[in-house]
Amino acid sequence: MSSFFHKTSLIGGLVVVLSTVAGQRAVADEAKPAEAKPPAKITYDEHVRPIFREHCFSCHNQDTKKSDLSLASFAGISQGGSTGPVFQPGDADGSRLWSLVSHAEEPKMPPNQDKLPAAKLDVIKAWIAGGALENDGSVAKIKKQPAINLSASGGATKPEGPPPMPEKLPRQPVVYTARAAAVTALAASPWAPLVAVAGQKQISLYNSDNAQLLGVLAFPEGTPHILKFSRSGSLLLAGGGVGAKSGSVIVYDVKSGKRVFEVGDELDVVLAADINEDHTRIALGGPGRVVRIYSTADGSLVHEIRKHTEWIYALEFSPDGVLLATADRSGGMFVWEAETAREYQNLAGHKGAITDVTWRIDSNVLASSSEDGTIKLWEMDGGKEIKSWAAHGGGVASVEFSKDGKLVSAGRDRTTKIWDGNGAAIRELPALGDIATEVAFTHDAARVAAGDWLGEVRLSEVADGKQVAQLPPNPPTLEMLVQSQTAAAATTADAAKKAAAELAAAEAVVAEKAKVSKAAAEAAAAAQANLQNLLAEKAAFDQTQSAQASTGK
């Protein structure tokens, strides 16, 4: 298992700083034995004992044993002193020996003297970090430390600082396919406007506010069948693989897109997986019917749960990290103590395959969806079914709690439905083109992303059900974007040209019309003048006639 655990080095400031030598060692031993040269071992007998002999033996020899500590033999130093063990193999900073000789803590050692020379300190530190080996034949027993900060909060409260969003991830897809396959997984960040959509050998990250593609994460392991953001929103878990062949879980750092963990070596795809709230455990399951829980610290297998009789279809850690719910294809569902993997509840009731499970933010209620067409709510004190309703005819494919306790579901009837916490329908979104397979609330529960069998992922407003955008699992390549943009630009230029031409033509027409109108106006004026003349002439004539008539009397 450990060969699948890559301590991907130096992710931001999160990595516990190990000495270079030790860091290389770990990588060399566990990840790439063929590539890096094995460094010389730093051992007690060869390197450290001479230093101790020179500086410490006066007090801490096997006879004097000041504070019950003898540094004169490996057995002695391993035994520790009156305050307990003096070193922690692999963890210099956590070792009392190092704290004292580096003068980080009191009593500084050697007492009342300057620190040991830096070169010697480095040797001691490297020795501890390298596993505090006795001699050349010793094997390190390093209790590995997680590679990232574990101070993630529970799911209910927003982590400090701005919610993580991808920063400058490549937008070039790993694979471009003209047609999208059925949507296998969708997830939305709990705190950021970020939606992850599973595709072929890749995961597309979209901004759910503007539907912009933010980046594409490679998943060369196959097809992701499950996507989950960690409760803090800083990590994205993807489980999947190649059907009937291989399966594993990859955890990415959302900001950098780098791989943080890789666990699992299944013989079929991983269909269900989750990472717990403090990022110390990853649980996964699939057609193998076994739920495996790994430690993120060293990639070791911590527990195997062999209770399920069918394919594991869904699992999720409770937001507080205390419980783990797992569900299978024949309707079996259990809740386990996450730390011990002891059975806590057996939730029997579904008549068909359970397709999804989701926890309410307070970790007290679990919702499950099933091919039997129902969504059921379960309380965690007694494991009772507290609510069950027919949600989607033919079967429910996916269900998710929002942080404010609403539910969204999708199913074989092609619809997406939003429910209140008691199962009362709030809204039904227009049907998709084929059976719906996945659904997720965005971080603010204002929008819903829903995917179907045809590969369409629709982003819709919860408030009015209107479709806002499509989030394709098969985004176009950059070349295609360039091409389409160029084409668009060309079209625009053409349009401008055409408009100008049209304008010119119109102007010509106007000029012509002006000419005509002027001529007409002139003609009209002439006619008017003519008329005036005639009228005047007539008036004059009339006058003459009336004058002649009066004189002729």
Contact residues toward other proteins (CB under 8 A) are: 175, 177, 179-184, 199-200, 223, 225, 242-245, 267, 311, 397, 434-435, 437, 453-455, 473-474
Residue closer to other proteins, measured from CB, 43 or 204 = 204
The residue with tokens 């700083």 is: 17
The residue with tokens 């072929």 is: 200
Name which of 242, 237, 204 is nearest 223 in CA terms: 242
The residue with tokens 């010793």 is: 138
Backbone angles phi, psi at 256, to 5 degrees: -95, -15
What is the identity of the amino acid at 170?
A: P
The C-alpha atoms of residue 312 and residue 324 are separated, in whole angstroms, by 13
Q: Are strands 396-401 and 291-295 parallel, antiparallel or unpaired?
A: unpaired
Q: How far is the CB of 259 from other proteins (least distance, A)?
A: 22
Residue closer to other proteins, measured from CB, 77 or 196 = 196
DSSP 128-190: HHTT-BSSTT---------SS---PPPTTSPPSSSPP---S---S-SS--SSPPPP--EEE-S
The residue with tokens 């530190």 is: 125
Q: How far is the CB of 414 from other proteins (least distance, A)?
A: 11
DSSP 222-280: SEEEEEEE-TTSSEEEEEEEETTTEEEEEEEETTT--EEEEEEEESS---EEEE-TTS-
Name the helix (H) or strand (E) containing 85.
Answer: none
Residue closer to other proteins, measured from CB, 253 or 438 = 438
Residue closer to other proteins, measured from CB, 56 or 217 = 217
Q: How far is the CB of 311 from other proteins (least distance, A)?
A: 8
Residue closer to other proteins, measured from CB, 187 or 361 = 187
Name which of 251, 244, 257, 298 is nearest 273 in CA terms: 251
Q: How far is the CB of 445 from other proteins (least distance, A)?
A: 25
Cα four-point dihedral sign 483, 488, 491, 492: negative
Q: Is-contact 351 370, C-beta < 8 A? A: yes
> Residues of 306-342 as b/e, b for ≥16 C-beta within 10 angstroms?
eebeebbbbbbbbbbbbbbbbbbbbbbbbbbebbebe
- What SS3 class is residue 510? helix
Q: Is-contact 452 432, C-beta < 8 A? A: yes
**Number of Cβ atoms within 10 Å of the Cβ of 85:** 14
HSE, side-chain direction, 13 A CA sphere, residue 550? 5
Backbone angles phi, psi at 449, to 5 degrees: -105, 130
Residue closer to other proteins, measured from CB, 7 or 225 = 225
**DSSP 8-state secondary structure symbol assigned to residue 26:** H
Q: How far is the CB of 267 from other proteins (least distance, A)?
A: 8
Q: How far is the CB of 436 from other proteins (least distance, A)?
A: 10
The C-alpha atoms of residue 266 and residue 270 are separated, in whole angstroms, by 7
Q: How far is the CB of 481 from other proteins (least distance, A)?
A: 19
Q: How far is the CB of 180 from other proteins (least distance, A)?
A: 5
Start-to-end C-alpha separation, the chain: 141
